[in-house]
Amino acid sequence: MSKITKLEIQKKNKNRVNVYVDDVYSFSLLENQIIDLGISKLKDYTASDIDNMKKESVFGILYQNALFFCVGREHSHKEVRDYLKRKCTKIMKDFYIEDVTDAISKVEIALANKDYINDERFCDFWIEYRNVKKGISRKKIILELRAKGVDDETIEKAILKNSRDDKSEIKKVILRKRNKYEDDNKLIRYLLSQGFSFSDIKEALNDSNE
């Protein structure tokens, strides 16, 4: 059996509490986790109890990081999972944990339940962001969304909702790239590589050359 001998609020993060087991720092928890878990000083805990507290600590750390990550812009489920996996490298070393799959899954579910991550909303954001920024073909945006882990049904629904099409998008790209590709053949090759169809390219170029 072990005892939690000290609970100390962190100086840099007032929401986290350092937990000392048998007078040695062991892990930290969010204040609400201390309350939810009913942790108190000088109470006896088994090795299994301490191990479960460490798992909760990992969850709390990952959840806080994920919240900050989600604040900047919309993210897909896969983007959040990949971010958490990168964050876990140091955590696994600090806590001597070999597998954090359960913690990542738990964080992802918690974020989804609070609607911090939503693939449908992410699709809407990404399509609008890519259209407004530089212009993009339907084919390429589908490939990008697939790479971000969004399923085809969700992608298709988002694209159907969007009013933009390849013919309007291609004109943006031509205006942006015309100075770089003064030769039409080179510009055509570039536009084909971006997923636009040859017929749409020819029509847009004819319009721009008139």
Q: Among 98, 113, 128, which residue terminates a domain?
A: 113
Q: What is the mean pLDDT of residues 163-174?
A: 83
Last residue of a domain, one of 76, 92, 113: 113
Q: Find the CATH number of the domain harbouring 29.
A: 1.10.10.10
Q: Which of 10, 138, 125 is nearest to 76 (CA)?
A: 125
In this structure, are residues 27 and 57 in contact, taking their beta carbons and an 8 Å threshold?
Answer: yes
Whether the Cβ atoms of residue 91 and residue 100 lie closer than 8 Å to each other? yes
User: Are residues 42 and 72 in contact, defined by beta-carbon separation less than 8 angstroms?
Assistant: no
Q: Is 66 in contact with 83 (CB distance < 8 Å)?
A: yes
Asked if pLDDT for residue 58 goes beyond 80, the answer is yes
Q: Are residues 94 and 136 in the same domain?
A: no
* Residue 64 confidence class, pLDDT cut points 50, 70, 90: confident
- The two tokens of residue 27 are 């892990």
Looking at the chain, the whole-number percentage of residues with pLDDT higher than 90 is 33
Q: pLDDT tens across 100-123, in order?
A: 778 889 999 999 999 999 999 999
Higher-pLDDT residue of 209 and 170 is 170
140 and 159 inside one domain: yes
Residues 136 and 105 in one domain: no
- Checking DSSP bridges between strand 44-45 and strand 24-30, what pairing results, if any? unpaired
Rg over CA atoms, the chain? 25
Average pLDDT for 179-189: 86
Q: Give the pLDDT score at 147.
A: 97
Report the predicted TM-score, pTM, of the whole model to 2 decimal places.
0.76
Domain count within the chain: 3
Plot region of 30 (φ>0 → left; ψ -120 to 50 → alpha; else → beta):
beta
130 near 136, Cβ under 8 Å? yes
Residues 101 and 40 occupy one common structural domain: yes
Q: Using one digit for the tens of pLDDT, what is the confidence trace for 22-55? A: 998 988 898 889 998 888 888 888 988 988 888 8
Same-domain pairing of 151 and 61: no
Instruction: For residues 6 and 103, give the distance between their C-alpha atoms in angstroms, rounded to a whole number.
Output: 26
Same domain, 188 and 155: no
pLDDT at 94 over 70: no
Phi-psi region of 31 (alpha: psi -120 to 50; beta: other; left: phi over 0): alpha
Domain that holds residue 184: 166-210
Q: Do 103 and 197 reside in the same domain of the chain?
A: no
CATH value at residue 138: 1.10.10
The span from the CA of 193 to the CA of 34, in Å, is 55
Residues 6+ apart with CB under 8 A from 55: 102, 103
Cα(1)–Cα(33) distance, rounded to whole angstroms? 21
- Could you give the CA distance from residue 47 to residue 64 in angstroms, rounded to a whole number? 26
Does one domain contain both 151 and 207? Answer: no
Name the more confident of 99 and 79.
79
Q: Would you state the pLDDT for residue 1? A: 84
Residues 109 and 155 occupy one common structural domain: no
